[in-house]
C-alpha cells in the first residue's frame, strides 16, 4: 500500500506563530496557495491558517491583519498525518475532520502537505467521492 510520503507535496513552508496575518497573506500570494501550516519557535506544527481564516476571522471581524498573528489561529491539537502512514489513513483523517489538506510530519517536523487533489490521483473514485461528500457537508 502506498504511503503518504509517496503522494504528498513536499517542501511545505510554515508561517511562524509570531508572524502577522499580513505576512501570511503575502506568503500565500507568493506561493500561490490557500493554506499555510503554522509552526512554533520549536519548528513543530501548531495548526493551519487558510485564506478563509484571513477573510472570515480577521477581515470580517475588523481585526488588524498587521498586528494579528498566525499563532492566534493555532488552537487545539492540529490534525496531521505521518509521512509513513498509509494513504487510506490520510483519507480517513480528512473525512473524519472534514479538511481538504493535511500537514505531513516526520520526527515532529513538517515535511509536506497532502491534499484532496493528491488523494484524488491515487485512490479509486468511490473513496475520493466519500472524501468530497464529507468535506462538502462540513459547515
- Which three cell numbers, joined as nine digits, stand for 86? 498509509
Confidence of residue 21 (pLDDT cuts 50, 70, 90): very high
CATH code (residue 37): 3.10.580.10
Q: What confidence tens digit (pLDDT) does each residue in 68-126 have? A: 999 998 877 889 999 999 999 999 999 899 888 999 999 988 999 999 888 888 887 77
Q: DSSP character for 3?
A: B
**Separation of alpha carbons 128 and 59, rounded Å:** 33
Instruction: Give the domain range for residue 83.
Output: 4-137
12 has pLDDT over 70: yes
Give the total number of structural domains in the chain: 1
Percent pLDDT > 90 in the chain is: 65
**Separation of alpha carbons 80 and 131, rounded Å:** 16
pLDDT of 139: 62
**Separation of alpha carbons 131 and 98, rounded Å:** 8
138 has pLDDT over 70: no
Confidence of residue 134 (pLDDT cuts 50, 70, 90): confident
Give 38's strand partners.
15, 47
Amino acid at each position: 500500500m502506498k504511503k503518504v510520503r509517496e503522494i504528498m507535496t513536499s517542501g511545505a513552508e510554515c508561517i511562524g506563530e509570531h508572524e502577522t496575518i499580513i505576512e501570511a497573506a503575502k506568503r500565500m500570494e507568493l506561493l500561490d496557495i490557500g493554506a499555510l501550516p503554522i509552526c512554533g519557535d520549536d519548528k513543530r506544527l501548531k495548526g493551519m491558517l487558510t485564506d478563509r481564516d484571513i477573510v472570515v476571522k480577521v477581515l470580517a471581524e475588523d481585526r488588524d491583519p498587521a498586528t494579528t498573528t498566525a499563532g492566534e489561529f493555532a488552537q487545539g491539537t492540529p490534525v496531521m498525518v505521518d509521512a509513513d502512514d498509509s494513504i487510506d489513513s490520510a483519507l480517513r483523517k480528512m473525512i473524519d475532520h472534514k479538511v481538504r489538506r493535511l500537514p505531513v510530519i516526520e520526527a515532529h517536523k513538517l515535511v509536506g502537505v497532502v491534499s484532496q487533489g493528491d488523494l484524488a490521483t491515487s485512490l479509486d473514485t468511490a473513496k475520493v467521492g466519500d472524501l468530497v461528500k464529507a468535506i462538502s457537508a462540513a459547515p
